[in-house]
Amino acid sequence: MNGTVYLVGAGPGDPELLTLKARRLLGVADAVVHDHLVAAEILTLIGPGAEKIFVGKKGGAFCCPQRNIEDVLIGLAREGKTVVRLKGGDPFVFGRGGEEAEALVAAGVPFEVVPGVTSALAAAAYAGMPLTHRAHSSAVVFLTGHEDPNKPDSAIHWEDYAKLGATLCIYMGMKNLETITRRLVAGGLAPDTPAAVIQSATTGAHRQFVSTLGRIALESEHAGFGAPAIVVIGAVVNLSEKLAWFAKKAASVPAVATSASEWNSTA
């Protein structure tokens, strides 16, 4: 009989944002197939006898093609194993979890999805930027700045999103940020619209940079910001000046994150 594959979201980086169900599954899994951005502290929760298989992608350098990852999941399940496919953030938000689920269905392998805290929600929360606010924004849009390179054309018409009056959250957008912001301005979004880059959100390396839509690409590059990062565009960004609780805490506490051994013993 086939085993079961669990598509599990590991959250944005802070190990304490991992769900209870995800933690339980890591302890009983026979094999864990994990990505690059999964926090080291979370990997310590994997049971001692489980097989660990790294299939991460970093900076566009593909460690393992997507089709190979799907074959790994199917192969492990057909051995009767309980398999955790551990992904940063949420498996169904720019995590290719849908593709993997389709492959599992086609192969007759049972699966379950365990949602995780997706990066945009966590990054904005830790940066003090409420994605919706009655006085500033009644809608939020998640977008990807990195699409399938095999597509003949971009599926994202950035100019259209300039007209929504919504908070825009852009995943994987640093490489193309200058093009993205230029197209949003061309679509009618004011160049002085508040914008921010939040790098390594929720971790000890968390840092954020606030500017405007017209200047964020160049200024964040000069400030040394890069992936992994979330870009937030909209009026709510300005609230960060008084609501950025995590940055203030980091400035007042010598060590924001516990070590892997400390967290593992208390989680």
From 30, 57, 71, 175, the catalytic residue: 57
d(CA 263, CA 204): 14
| Residue 248 annotated in active site | no
| Terminal alpha carbon distance of the chain | 34
Using DSSP's 3-state secondary structure scheme, residue 119 falls into helix
Q: Which of 81, 129, 172, 174 is catalytic?
A: 172
Amino acid at site 220: S
Q: What burial class does residue 256 get, using C-beta atoms within 10 Å of its C-beta: 0-12 exposed, 13-18 middle, 19+ buried?
A: middle
Selecting among 35, 87, 129, 174, the annotated active-site residue is 35
**Residue 35 falls in the annotated catalytic set:** yes
Q: Residue 85: in which H helix or E strand, if any?
A: strand 83-87
Instruction: Tell me, yes or no, if 52 is annotated catalytic.
Output: no
Query: What's the angle, vertex CA 53, arms to CA 50 and CA 57, rounded to 5?
Result: 150
**180: CB partners within 8 A, 6+ apart:** 145, 158, 170, 173, 217, 231
- What sections of the chain are H helices per DSSP? 20-28, 40-43, 66-78, 97-106, 119-126, 158-161, 177-186, 216-222, 240-243, 245-252, 260-266
The residues, any chain, with a CB within 8 Å of residue 150's CB and separated by 6 or more, are: none
3 state SS of 203: coil
Active site residues: 35, 57, 172
